[in-house]
């Protein structure tokens, strides 16, 4: 047991430090239990923002349906974590109250900021006593899976201050840097927790978070201009992808082209794949190129990240997937270095 002073977790950084300390302790003393005195305050939280003409001070009926589905996914994730079953009958009234997602409706956008700290504390009080026969690292994996599900992966990001809009603009640069630095650490720690303690139960809890995110995105994809959920931004191309999930006529072609890089983010809520938002220089077409972390070299990730800030053009070799004649997405191969500037050389000396 650690000291009697509670460990207060107010942000992602503190949380990942606690995870890091626990993993080190567990290496030295296999079977070590999770700290009994963690107190979450104001973190983790889920920020959702939907922008678009139809969201001027109202919710579309489709979004109401999507939110209800997302909320049900959260309830199932919680029921699984707390009672080992996704049967919603098991939830008490107190459980249900702690899982409410409250929406504020502003001019031109629908915004929600949900603080899950009370929910997680309530769950922790239960977790420390109720999970007889589970190792400390398995408990930590369940805790991480629940936080991942309720924040739809936002817990992996260190800069999540959505309240402060000046910081939000600055966060573009920061988040990019975090993709390459700080975030990498949180994903490495998350992977290590799972490597040691993952169970089918923890995987299922996380899957409910992924389902919840998809329900919401599908429900607003045809009306929204942009959606921010779990610290990831979905606009034009990414929303088009959700609209097209049922689509048919698909073609794949190896190509290379010049792109402006608009953003770099995780593709799944805890996946090691990245989404690269690009704009084709020649025609302004925007879409997402998936980047598998084991394919891209660190120097390439760094180059893509810095191109967001500098606005420089990057030449990329990729696999292009078109659906019904429109580019749906791409799969990254490599950056083609542009060493000699592409200028016509004189034919004769």
Q: Nearest Cα to 262, choosing from 318, 307, 217? A: 307
Q: pLDDT band for 159, please (50, 70, 90 cuts).
A: low
HSE, CB side, 13 Å, CA atoms: give it for residue 284.
Answer: 0
pLDDT at 165: 43
- Most confidently predicted of 69-83, 115-129, 266-280: 69-83
Q: How far apart are CA 130 and CA 81, in angstroms?
A: 11
Is the pLDDT higher at 175 or at 163?
A: 175
Q: How far apart are CA 118 and CA 178, in angstroms?
A: 27
pLDDT at 345: 46
Which residues are bridge partners to 229 per DSSP? 48, 232
**Mean pLDDT computed over 173-184:** 61
Q: Is the per-residue pLDDT at 248 higher than 60?
A: no
Check whether the bond before 250 is cis (ω within 30° of 0). no
- Check if the beta carbon of residue 34 is closer than 8 Å to that of residue 140: yes
pLDDT at 6: 87
Mean pLDDT over each residue of the chain, to the nearest integer:
83
pTM for the predicted model, two decimal places: 0.70
Counting every residue, how long is the chain? 349
In the structure encoding, which two tokens stand for residue 85, read together? 């079953």
Which range among 79-93, 126-140, 209-223, 303-317 shows the weakest confidence by mean pLDDT? 126-140
Burial class for 112, CB neighbours closer than 10 Å (0-12, 13-18, 19+):
middle
The predicted-structure confidence for 37-84, as pLDDT tens digits, reads as follows 899 999 999 989 898 888 866 778 888 888 888 999 999 999 999 988
- Most confidently predicted of 43-47, 146-150, 279-283: 146-150
């Amino acid at each position: 047991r650690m000291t009697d002073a509670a460990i207060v977790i107010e942000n992602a950084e503190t949380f990942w430090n606690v995870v890091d300390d626990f993993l080190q302790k567990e290496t030295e003393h296999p079977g070590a239990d999770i700290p009994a005195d963690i107190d979450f305050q104001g973190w983790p939280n889920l920020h959702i923002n939907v922008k678009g003409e139809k969201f001027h001070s109202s919710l579309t009926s489709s979004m109401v349906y999507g939110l209800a589905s997302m909320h049900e996914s959260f309830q199932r994730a919680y029921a699984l974590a707390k009672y080992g079953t996704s049967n919603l009958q098991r939830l008490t009234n107190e459980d249900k109250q702690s899982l409410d997602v409250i929406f504020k409706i502003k001019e031109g956008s629908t915004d929600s900021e949900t603080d899950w700290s009370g929910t997680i504390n309530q769950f922790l009080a239960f977790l420390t006593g109720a999970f007889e026969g589970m190792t400390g690292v398995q408990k930590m994996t369940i805790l991480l899976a629940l936080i991942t599900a309720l924040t739809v992966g936002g817990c992996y990001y260190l800069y999540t201050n959505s309240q402060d809009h000046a910081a939000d603009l600055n966060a573009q640069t920061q988040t990019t840097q975090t993709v390459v630095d700080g975030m990498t650490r949180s994903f490495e720690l998350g992977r290590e927790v799972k490597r040691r303690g993952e169970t089918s139960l923890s995987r299922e809890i996380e899957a409910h978070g992924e389902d919840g995110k998809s329900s919401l995105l599908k429900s607003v994809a045809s009306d929204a201009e942009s959606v921010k959920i779990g610290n990831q931004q979905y606009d034009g191309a990414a929303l088009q992808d959700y609209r097209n999930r049922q689509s048919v006529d698909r073609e794949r072609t190896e190509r290379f082209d010049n792109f402006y890089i608009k953003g770099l983010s995780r593709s799944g809520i805890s996946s090691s794949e990245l989404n690269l938002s690009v704009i084709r220089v020649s025609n302004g077409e925007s879409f997402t190129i998936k980047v598998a972390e084991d394919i891209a070299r660190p120097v390439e990730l760094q180059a893509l990240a810095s191109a967001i800030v500098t606005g420089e053009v990057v030449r990329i070799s990729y696999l292009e997937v078109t659906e019904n004649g429109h580019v749906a997405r791409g799969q990254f191969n490599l950056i083609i270095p542009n060493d000699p500037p592409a200028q016509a050389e004189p034919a004769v000396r």
